[in-house]
A = this chain, B = another copy of it.
Amino acid sequence: MTQVAREVFGHDRVAALSGPSHAEEVGRRVPTAVVVASEDGALARHVQGLFTSERFRLYTSSDVAGVEFGGAFKNVIAVAVGVSDGLGFGDNTRAALITRGLVEITRLGCALGAREKTFAGLSGMGDLVVTCTSRHSRNRHVGEELGRGRKIEEILGAMKQAAEGAWNCRAVHALAQQHGIQAPIAAELHAILYEGKDPADAVRSLMTRDAKPE
């Protein structure tokens, strides 16, 4: 989005604000913490000052690519978590998908020029956790319906709002292949979405990969 903003506004003074921040909660003054990233450090600190309140805390970062990439890839993992829920799996499975999902996000993000630390922060892990555990996530809903055996065209056709995860999965899977990065959760979700793979078989593929160190 900062690339788009640069083109549209015709200047480089852009910053990205991201993190676990459901808008309806921010509106209710629920304590919220986010990160504001810009290559221009003074701009990031300026935005930090503008928005800081007793209920809204901002950390600065210079890793714009990392902050933006985390916000996109997290939707893919949220769909995968939904598939697990739709198959009737539990909290253990969800936590494993979130944790190993963040490994994939970090690996691919770093190959694309982002910094590893960013993914351990609010725009990485924080946003991933809130998206994967909130009842209101549209991406999780898409995954749940997939897990129950419905097809993606049917699910998206019945929805009034956008669920980016299905599209993000295509982009992430292509980027991972292009850069030779292992992203097995994204690959299995891609197989469910676009190659007709049965969700239960995809789970089996993930659980029976070669034994390895963490």
Instruction: Determine whether A8 belongs to the interface, using a CB cutoff of 8 Å to chain B.
Output: no
Instruction: Determine whether A208 belongs to the interface, using a CB cutoff of 8 Å to chain B.
Output: yes
Closest to A137 in B: B91
* Chain B residues with CB below 8 A from A163, complex form: none
Instruction: Determine whether A33 belongs to the interface, using a CB cutoff of 8 Å to chain B.
Output: yes
Instruction: Determine whether A4 belongs to the interface, using a CB cutoff of 8 Å to chain B.
Output: no
Whether the Cβ atoms of B127 and A95 lie closer than 8 Å is: yes
Whether the Cβ atoms of A31 and B125 lie closer than 8 Å is: no
Known A-B contacts A31-B84, A120-B120, A122-B214; A54 and B95 likewise in contact (beta carbons under 8 Å): no
Whether the Cβ atoms of B92 and A121 lie closer than 8 Å is: no
Per the bound structure, the CA–CA distance linking A84 and B135 in Å amounts to 18
Instruction: Determine whether A177 belongs to the interface, using a CB cutoff of 8 Å to chain B.
Output: no
> Which residues of A does B touch, CB under 8 Å?
19-22, 25-26, 28, 30-33, 35, 45, 48-49, 52, 54-61, 84, 89-96, 98-100, 102-103, 106, 117-118, 120-122, 125-127, 129-130, 133-134, 203-204, 206-209, 211-214
A/B interface sample: 24 pairs, CB < 8 A: A20-B95, A20-B96, A22-B90, A22-B92, A25-B90, A25-B91, A31-B89, A31-B92, A31-B203, A32-B93, A33-B92, A35-B214, A54-B207, A55-B207, A57-B209, A59-B213, A61-B213, A94-B129, A95-B122, A98-B126, A99-B120, A118-B214, A125-B125, A129-B129
